[in-house]
Amino acid sequence: MRPNIAIDGPAGAGKSSVARGLAQRLGYTYIDTGAMYRAVAYRALQAGLDVNTDPEAIAELAGRLRFEFREVDGARHLFVDGEDVEGPIRTREVGNLSSPVSAIPGVRRHLVAAQQRMARNGGCVMEGRDIGTVVLPDAKVKVFLTASAAVRARRRQLQLAQRGIHRSLEEILRDQKERDERDSNRSIAPLRQADDAVLIDTDNMTEDQVIEAIIALVRKVTGDAQGA
């Protein structure tokens, strides 16, 4: 069976582009678990549910959603109950709401179970905050990506600009700081490097260099020169 690869780290450390590129190189399936938490936030917003007063209803909603990643024009999009939610889940409002939503224990229970089902046949590159610690504690390859706050904010700004969204560095830094603190300090499945994860600081590395470093780790566990 092909190994699963767990990639964790804070927002903007380069997880998404690295995980996507890595999956492409290896012919593995890329799973963006943050998109799933965003989708729950989006659906909760649509249903008029409040994260402070309706956590149980939001958890119940999360348990009813059917998640599926599909290829659309060469990009991976998340579909929820057959609806392509890639656009709405990337808005600032949904992004900010996804952090408190992801701290609801019942939401995590449902999403972790769905993620474990997706990875049960191996060959997944799964990216998030708790993949190496909670979702796939037995993953053969675990990586924790970091970068300085300034570099992460700058990357995020460029990423948004590519989608035609222009935001100031100050605003991005503010959102990022708030989200990092909440994700790292929550009592359930906080952002934390697994004891057996390899730490990669991406500040002075290109995306390709990071991908190569992870492929070297994959080769070590598969003993295969192709890395797959």
- Give the residue, chosen from 9, 14, 88, 128, that forms a contact with ligand DC under the rule CB under 6 A: 128
Nearer to ligand DC, 28 or 37 (CB): 37
Nearer to ligand DC, 86 or 183 (CB): 183
Nearer to ligand DC, 29 or 102 (CB): 102
The span from the first CA to the last CA of the chain, in angstroms, equals 10
Query: Token pair of 74, please?
Result: 């060469």
Which ranges of the chain does DSSP label H, i.e. alpha helix?
15-26, 33-46, 55-64, 92-102, 105-118, 149-162, 169-185, 207-222
Query: Token pair of 48, please?
Result: 């008029």
- Give the residue, chosen from 59, 144, 179, 215, that forms a contact with ligand DC under the rule CB under 6 A: 179
Q: What's the min distance (Å) between Cβ of 179 and ligand DC?
A: 5
- Is residue 173 within 8 A of residue 12, CB to CB? The reply is no
- Is residue 116 within 8 A of residue 135, CB to CB? The reply is yes
Query: Token pair of 137, please?
Result: 């504690």
- Give the residue, chosen from 61, 62, 130, 153, that forms a contact with ligand DC under the rule CB under 6 A: 130
Q: Does 157 bind ligand DC (CB under 6 A)?
A: no
- Is residue 5 within 8 A of residue 143, CB to CB? The reply is yes
Residues 31-70 that bind ligand DC (CB under 6 A): 33-35, 37-38
- Is residue 192 within 8 A of residue 116, CB to CB? The reply is no
Nearer to ligand DC, 83 or 224 (CB): 83
67, β-bridge pairs: 80
Nearer to ligand DC, 50 or 224 (CB): 50
Q: What's the min distance (Å) between Cβ of 193 and ligand DC?
A: 14
Nearer to ligand DC, 77 or 219 (CB): 77
Q: What's the min distance (Å) between Cβ of 219 and ligand DC?
A: 26
- Is residue 126 within 8 A of residue 143, CB to CB? The reply is no
From the list 145, 146, 176, the residue with the least C-alpha distance to 160 is 176
Site string for ligand DC, 72-111 (x = CB under 6 A): --------------------------xx--x---------
Q: How many residues bind ligand DC (CB under 6 A)?
A: 14
Query: Which positions lie near ligand DC, rule CB under 6 A?
Result: 11, 33-35, 37-38, 98-99, 102, 128-130, 179, 183
